Amino acid sequence: MKKSLNVLIIEDEAPAAEKLERYLLKYSSNIKILNRLDSVTTAVEWLEDHQAEADLIFMDVQLTDGKSFEIFKRVRVVKPVIFVTAYNEYALDAFKVSSIDYLLKPITLTDLSTSLQKLESLSEQLRWSESKSDEVLELLSGKDRPLKTRFMVKLGDHIRSVTAQQISVFFADGRDVYLITDQHKKFIIDYTLENLEEVLDPKSFFRINRSYIININAIQDVMVYSNSRLKITLNIKWDPEIIVSREKVGDFKQWFDGGK
């Protein structure tokens, strides 16, 4: 790399950000890291004031306060982006179709080098048009995305299939994720909540906090709770409190009103 390259890193996992920065500096001494940000809010604020300084943005998909596609809703991104993601194959294919490069976690120096060499060889495309930003937003917001309609679960030595609409709630307990059916049956599944957000119908399911994704048909009541939060009561027997986190309240109300 002969010319200098100013890079912005948007990544909420400190070890991952540090590893990416280390690989970038190892790739070329002409790379300068402008900043490392970990949230949608800080990224929007930085881009509003300093986007002209950047030549390239590395962007994780899942940030501390939401998904990175929210950035595209709040500020016009006119710089090329390489996504750093744990997305499964259909999402990666979507990125490739739209000429959006990506690195699949855990990243390697070889993968990073390939991405940067690709961008160097296509230097005339380093300026994104407004239509390209709109394509990114459309892809990340999930339009025309294949949705999962059923989940395979195990019951002893038996295997069952549970439809998505039979599921009242998904919840995380430590590293384990469970689904609870409308018949109050509990099954452990091999998904993270982040994975589930990408494959569930967003009209029916909403992630209300770090631990819960709920089905709109399972909601019996919504109450105003302390500090402007909301408390949800399900139409199944469920003892733990289910609270909509403060930063999710606005989006939840829009979703609950049929606007998302």
Q: Is residue 145 part of a domain?
A: no
Residue ending a domain, among 91, 111, 140, is 140
Band of pLDDT at residue 258, cut at 50, 70 and 90: confident
Q: Is residue 92 part of a domain?
A: yes
In the prediction, which pLDDT does 75 show? 87
- The C-alpha atoms of residue 199 and residue 150 are separated, in whole angstroms, by 10
161 and 209 housed in the same domain? yes
35 and 132 housed in the same domain? yes
- β-pairing, 81-85 vs 101-104, is parallel
Evaluate if residue 242 carries a pLDDT over 60: yes
222 and 134 housed in the same domain? no
In the prediction, which pLDDT does 93 show? 45
100 and 13 housed in the same domain? yes
92 and 128 housed in the same domain? yes
Of 83, 72, 80, 82, whose CA–CA distance to 124 is shortest?
80
pTM of the model: 0.51
In the prediction, which pLDDT does 36 show? 96
Of 69, 75, 22, whose CA–CA distance to 49 is shortest?
75
CATH of the domain at 103: 3.40.50.2300
Q: Is residue 77 part of a domain?
A: yes
- The C-alpha atoms of residue 149 and residue 200 are separated, in whole angstroms, by 8
Residue ending a domain, among 99, 122, 140, is 140
10 and 81 housed in the same domain? yes
Owning domain of residue 193:
150-256
In the prediction, which pLDDT does 120 show? 73
Evaluate if residue 99 carries a pLDDT over 50: no
Report how many domains make up the chain.
2
Q: Is residue 176 part of a domain?
A: yes
Residue ending a domain, among 101, 118, 140, is 140
The one-letter code for the residue type at 206 is F
220 and 179 housed in the same domain? yes
In the prediction, which pLDDT does 97 show? 34
User: End-to-end distance of the chain based on CA atoms, in angstroms?
Assistant: 44
Q: Is residue 72 part of a domain?
A: yes
What confidence tens digit (pLDDT) does each residue in 109-149 have?
888 888 888 777 665 454 555 555 555 555 545 555 578 89
57 and 79 housed in the same domain? yes
128 and 15 housed in the same domain? yes
Evaluate if residue 168 carries a pLDDT over 90: yes
**Helices 109-121 and 14-27: crossing angle, nearest 10°?**
60
Of 139, 104, 119, 152, whose CA–CA distance to 7 is shortest?
119
Residue 159, C-beta contacts closer than 8 angstroms, at least 6 positions apart: 152, 153
Q: Which residues on adjacent β-strands are paired with residue 187?
A: 179
- The mean-pLDDT minimum among 85-94, 96-105, 246-255 falls in 85-94
Mean pLDDT of 70-91: 77
Q: Is residue 44 part of a domain?
A: yes
122 and 35 housed in the same domain? yes
89 and 169 housed in the same domain? no
CATH of the domain at 168: 2.40.50.40
Evaluate if residue 47 carries a pLDDT over 70: yes
115 and 177 housed in the same domain? no
